Each structure stands twice: as structure tokens, then as C-alpha cells.
Structure 1
Amino acid sequence: MATDLEIVRVAALSDNYVWLIHDPVSDETVVVDPSEAAPVIAAVAQRGWTISQIWNTHWHFDHTDGNAEIKAMGAKVSGPAAEAERIPTLDTGLREGDSVRIGKHVASVIETPGHTAGHIVFHMAEDALLFSGDTLFAMGCGRLTEGSPAEMFGNMQRLAALPDETIVYCAHEYTVSNGRYAVIAEPDNRAVADRLHVVEAQRAAGEATVPTTIGTERATNPFLRATSVEQFADRRAAKDAFRG
């Protein structure tokens, strides 16, 4: 499934990715989770774009610290209604089943509590795109800073059910560390070992390892592949203690 949207990855802070979504038809641009404003503003200026919207997946500073400066340039901020008190720049609070738009393209809101209590993701079904914030990573998932294993396991089940071709835009470059844990979690999974070899080479060459796809994660992500809450909880606890 192809999309005519232009997606640009902007590196920020030490390991964050901010995503720009540009619709060439309406000439609108959305920024997803601006951890800082300067690199985002530079990226849109280089392309002659204007940011009209900010979409936040959750309240953490490394996803919202750029909001105020970008909002001052005319952008409207949409994000989780459950975290409105923690996102002072928020204009529109979003809940499960709500939607936001860029031009004619629609993103549905899926509530994915776990990393934070009100975390949401943006699923653009017709474009086969998912902006997953800190819920789903390449070969990993977010730490449970405010939620339970049962909640995050439920999130993994929901996201695993999306079409394989869905492109996943997560917010951090964690893939090598995630992959090194994944080969321990699933030592007999050849696909995991093969992927780790690839992503280590990508990082050694200074390349990004994301976006990924749901199909790739279904084959190589030990959290998306967990078959029970108990297995998920064991894997999450082991990854939290993992140093690799």
C-alpha cells in the first residue's frame, strides 16, 4: 500500500527521532513528538514547509519540549487527553477512537497505556503508517514507567494484529540494544540473529535502523511475539536489567 505523504526523520537529542509528515496536496505539515524545536524548524525551513500541527504520543519531555516554540509559529497541538495536565501546550485532547487529519489523510487514535498512563499512538490505516512513540520500538517496546505488563501485553497484541505492511515510525534509536537482548530471549530464532547482524552494520555505518514494519516486528520482536502476559512480564523485566 503506497502513500503520497512525505515522511522525514529528524534526529534530535541523543537518540530521539522526530517525524515530519507532509501532505503535498494540502501543503500541510505535521510534526510528531518534537523533543526539541531547533532541528525540526531547520528541517522544515530547508524544504519550504510550514508546520500546522503537532501530534504528541505522551507527555515525556523528550517528546514535548519542542512544542511551545513550534506552537508559537502557528501550530496546533493534539495529544492524549489523559495527560492534558502534563502537556500545558495541548490544544486538543485525544482518546481512543478519535482521529486527526492532515489533508485528506486520517490518523486514528489508539490508546496504549503502559509506558505512560495515557500514551496514544497514531494509526493511518489507509496509508499503512503507525506513529508508535515509545510503545513499540524496532525489536522492543517501551519501559513500564506508569503501567502494567498486562496493559503493555494488550498493546502488543493489538499492534501485532495490524497488517504486516504497516510502516512503524518509533521515537528512538534503540534497535541494537533491543536486538542484543532479543537473541537472548529467542536464541533459536534465526530471523532475530540475522536482523541483529544487519542493524549492527547499519549503526556502524551511521545509518538509522527505523522505520520498521509490523511484519518485521512479528518475526523478530520478542515483546510483540510474547504469547502470554507472564512471558511478556518476564521478558520486560529481563530487558530492564539487561546491559548490552
Structure 2
Amino acid sequence: MPLELVTLRCLKDNYAYLLHGDEGTVLVDAPEAAPILRELAARDWSLSAILLTHHHADHVDGVAEIQRETGAMVIGAAADAHRLPPLDLRITPGEPLEALGEPVGIIDVPGHTVGHVAFHFPQSGYAFTADSLMALGCGRLFEGSAAMMWNSLSRLNALPAETLICSGHDYCAGNGAFALSVDPANQALRNRLEAVQSARKSCAPAPLSLERETNPFLRVAALREGLGMEDASDAEVFARLRAMKDTF
């Protein structure tokens, strides 16, 4: 059985994720402490670890209080240890990691930040991608280049189609509007947005198969001609799309 997944809204539009199994509970990102501690108390779950994807405050500001209340160990990228909260375990993409009895893939996904990592739980079928691959979009390029982000998205796009993509924010409205502007004939995209609107819910988490059908940043081959970039590389088309989104 896959680990139980609980999606928590934090701050204005952030997500944190709790994973629970027979061996305990793990948190992915900690935007703020209060809603996470409330959920743990309501379920009577004991937190053993906090996995951090990147250093931005809206993903780490709750760490100190949660660690103080739970004693959970904090795990994050060794390359970003100087700007993450104090780490109990420093990890490197590609090295082995285990959590809750499952192997965890550590994927290097620079672009939004240069030290960003994603966590893949292959047995349960979850990928925690934070601000790299997002529902109907991808993160802004605050530190890395378009080429970096395209390579990161390509790594994530190589995961199994059924993988549930657990991203860091609810940006459905803005991402959906941009997607429609560049991919207006995409019926799968229209169906997804209509389903989200009718149910009045977020568009994340979502399976990778759905992102492949509806996320413009994974559909560069389909959008190349419409952008007048027939001779451009995938990375160049992605860069154009990302620049368009920045000013949308």
C-alpha cells in the first residue's frame, strides 16, 4: 500500500505534505508551523523528519517551531546547507536515502534556485517537486537559467506517468490562464480547468500523465509551430514560454 498523503494549505497559496506509514510520519517543506502542528495533533501522528526542497522562506519558515515541538530531524541539500535551516542530514542528488521504509530518490532540479531538489517515492508513486515542475506550470527562474530548468523538467518528465506530482503552490488560476493563451485548442487542458472550477478545488497534486497533456512547459514540441519556432530546440522553446509567462 502507498504511504498515506495529506496535502496541507499554508500561508496564502503554499502546500506542505505529510506522508504517513507504519514507520511514522514525514513532512515535505514547512511554510508555517501552525497548520502542520494542528494536523499532526488531530491525527495523533509523531513526526520523525522534515524534507526540504529549497531555501526560500515560504518553504522553510516553520522548520524551527516544528522541530522544537516534535524533535524531527531536518534533511536538505548539502549544497544549500549554508542557507537552509540547520540540517541534521545533508543529502546529495543521486545518493541513497530511505524514509518510512521506502527508498527515496533525490533529484537535482535547479532553475528556480540552484540548490533545489525534488523527492521521489517510487514505491508510493509520489514526487515532491515544489517550485520546479508545478501544476500547469513551473517555477520562476530566480537563480538558474532556462537551460537548467528545462533539464530539470526533463528529469522529472522521465518519471513514470502515474507519478503524483506534488508541487509547492496553488497557482491554478494564473497558470491555467497562461496555458490557455498558448494552447487554446487543447481540450484536455480545458477539461482540467473546468473540472477544477466546478469542484472549487486546486489543480494539485496531479498525475504526471495529466501534466504531460496540459502543462505548456512539458508540451514544447506541440507548441513549437504556434510560436513560430519550428527550427528551435526544445530548450529554446521552453525559454520563450518561460519569458512569456513572466510578463503574462
TM-score after normalising by structure 2: 0.91
Q: Unpaired runs of 5+ in structure 2? A: 222-233
Cα deviation code 1:119-171 (max 9, x no counterpart): 00001112211011111111100000000000111111111121111011111
Q: Check the 8 A contact 1:67/1:89 in 2, yes or no.
A: no
2:52 is aligned with 1:46: no
Equivalent residue in structure 1 for 2:10, among 5, 9, 12:
12
Task: State the Cα RMSD in Å.
Answer: 1.2
**Structure 1 stretches of at least 4 aligned residues deviating more than 4 Å after TM superposition:** none
The superposition leaves residues 84-115 of structure 1 with CA deviations (integer Å, 9 ceiling, x where unpaired) of 11013222121111233223112110000000
192, 203, 206: which one aligns with 1:212 = 206
State how far apart, in whole Å, the 2-side matches of 1:185 and 1:93 are: 40
Task: Give the 3-state SS of the residue equivalent to 2:19 in structure 1.
Answer: strand
Q: Which residue of 2 aligns with 1:240?
A: 246
Q: Indicate conservation of the 8 Å contact 1:84/1:93, yes or no.
A: yes
Any gaps of 5 or more consecutive residues in structure 1?
Answer: none
2:204 partner letter: V
**CA spacing shift, 1:34–1:88, aligned 2, 3 Å:** closer
Q: Distance in 2 between matches of 1:29 and 1:99?
A: 19
| Matched residue count | 235
Q: Which of 208, 212, 226 is equivalent to 2:220? A: 226
TM-score, length-scaled by structure 1: 0.93
Residues in 1 aligned to 2:93 and 2:149: alpha-carbon distance in whole angstroms: 16
Q: Secondary structure at the match of 1:79?
A: strand
Amino acid paired to 2:183: E
Aligned pairs for 1:183-202 within 5 A: 183-202=180-199
Hey, what's the Cα distance between the residues in 1 that align with 2:180 and 2:215?
10
Provide Cα deviations, 1:65-90, integer angstroms capped at 9, x if missing partner. Answer: 01111112311011111111101322
Q: Write the letter of the residue equivalent to 1:54.
A: I
**1:99 to 2:105 alignment:** no
CA deviation profile, 1:45-65 (whole Å, cap 9, x unmatched): 000001110000000000000
**1:29 equivalent among 11, 15, 25:** 25
CA contact 2:30–2:63 (8 Å) conserved in 1: yes
Distance 1:36 1:120 in 2: 20
Q: Distance in 1 between matches of 2:246 and 2:218?
A: 16
